[in-house]
Amino acid sequence: MTKIADILRRGLTISFEFFPPATDAATARLAETLVELETLAPSYVSVTYGAGGTTRERTHDLVVRLRRETAMTPMAHLTCWIGLDDSTKDN
């Protein structure tokens, strides 16, 4: 697994940040956007985590999708003050 620290050591980096979509229409639009942005070969992409962990499952699902369906290196945000429970430790 690629570590963000290793990417940053390589020099200039370009990254994009995504918020997990809340609707089917937004999911379809993000899929189109991912195809377009992948051609720019970002150093990594990050997926934000909603306030209070409200998008936790969607964040996880998007990171998994990015790893499986693209060549982009994803990084998931983790809200530590609420995110450190048993389910987080297992993932």
Annotated catalytic residues are 17
Burial level of 87, CB count in 10 A (0-12/13-18/19+)?
A: exposed
CA dist., res. 25 & res. 47, Å (int) = 18
Q: Which pair of tokens denotes residue 24?
A: 């089917």
